Amino acid sequence: MRVLLAFDKFKGSMTAEQACAAGREALQTSHGSWQIEEAPLTDGGEGFARILTHALGGTIETLRVTGPLWEPRDAELGWAELAQLPPDARKRLEAPTEGKLAIIEMAQAAGFLHVPAEKRNPWHTTTYGVGEMIRHAVDAGAAAILLGIGGSATNDAGAGALEALGIKAYDRQLQPVTHLSPDQWKHINSLGGLVNYREQFPPIRIACDVRNPLTGDRGATRVFGPQKGLTEEDFPRLERQMDKMGRRLLGLFNHPLTTHDARMQEAGAGAAGGLGFGLRTAFPNTAFVEGFPLVVELLRLQEKLRAAEMVITGEGRFDASSLEGKGPMSVLTAAPAEARKLLLAGSLEAAAVEQAREALPGLEAIQLTPDEWELERRLAEGEAALRKQLAVLS
């Protein structure tokens, strides 16, 4: 039996890699003759750098950077040879054929998981550490940079990252304004710096499936702000500040005034609190690429699926959002029609499972932990529950 394990993360319980490794060990114990392939999934957030770097045969470097609360922290950056890119991924990235690819995961430096619940406040969080990672990659000779921007704790339009890369801010007395989280923006009268240095940058590709603009009812502040700690009372003030900062950045980098509205309403500009907007504004050779299709190409997932007789996937919670064509649902949809398909999740929303089964007759959906368990217990025992289910699989 040829089996493909393609788990996404079980948030708060297991990384995608841990889930795949646990699944392999459980299946090998009970079915020693089965051929098992692993393909841990990533959406651009947690695990992005490590999963893609390993898939490309690269190496991981650990850096000391600034975290989302301006605290020092370790962050992993991946390095891979551009020559190892699958042809379809190279075409999507418009990447050079030679040199080093730096794989950067925003969540390593500015991730939501690094901010305790009581300290979640996008007025104060920063992408400064992401800028430090980009600067390190450039200084180390990266021929191209791939940036995953899922799982952010920030809403700073990339101002923190740009500050780390050389942008300067000044008040009305021409005194420097530093630590450019949104709570500092009210002091800014003008911006400078970075304009000449930016021409040295290699191409930056931002893996992103979010389509929201920077500002407005569907923008970064209103749509993603609440999960990062914003309240309804914050919206009008931060929205005004975001609009003003966006226009200042566009002006600094000489984007014509007539294009400002369109640039801020561009699909994806609001992803990760506007980080992509800031980088695209500053660096000419920066572009968004669809995240999940790129991951499929880099993992060579299609060829692994074609060879599989059984496909086992899953995530922490399978609900209506899981049906939108990303992660486990995409894997199941792309699997061969004749392959056995299993979906494992910490919790299952009945209506979502019913819809999935309508699209995929024969789908086996298994909830790993009982609904009556407290969340803390479900998270703590998630790996053991996954191992138990797969150990008795027949």
Q: Please tell me the total count of domains within the chain.
A: 2
The domain that contains 183 carries what CATH number? Answer: 3.90.1510.10
pLDDT, tens digit, for every residue of 232-247?
999 999 999 999 999 9
**What's the confidence (pLDDT) of residue 200?**
80
**What's the confidence (pLDDT) of residue 350?**
95
Contact 27, 394 (CB under 8 A): no
In-domain check, residue 144: yes
Task: Give CA–CA dist 161/285, Å, rounded.
Answer: 17
Q: Are residues 23 and 65 in the same domain?
A: no
Domain of 310 in residue numbering reads as: 2-41+304-391
**What's the confidence (pLDDT) of residue 195?**
65
Q: Are residues 193 and 220 in the same domain?
A: yes
Q: Are residues 246 and 359 in the same domain?
A: no
Contact 93, 144 (CB under 8 A): yes
Task: Give CA–CA dist 250/264, Å, rounded.
Answer: 9
**What's the confidence (pLDDT) of residue 360?**
96
Burial of 255 per CB tally in 10 Å (0-12, 13-18, 19+): middle
Q: Are residues 255 and 370 in the same domain?
A: no
In-domain check, residue 299: no
**What's the confidence (pLDDT) of residue 89?**
97
For residue 254, the 8-state DSSP code is T
Q: Are residues 22 and 90 in the same domain?
A: no
- Report, as ranges of residue numbers, the positions in the chain whose pLDDT lies below 70: 195-197, 325-326
According to DSSP, the residues that pair with 306 across neighbouring strands are none
The whole-model pTM stands at: 0.91
pLDDT, tens digit, for every residue of 334-360?
999 999 999 999 999 999 999 999 999
The domain that contains 8 carries what CATH number? Answer: 3.40.50.10350
Give the H/E segment covering residue 261.
helix 260-264
In-domain check, residue 272: yes
**What's the confidence (pLDDT) of residue 324?**
75
**What's the confidence (pLDDT) of residue 43?**
84
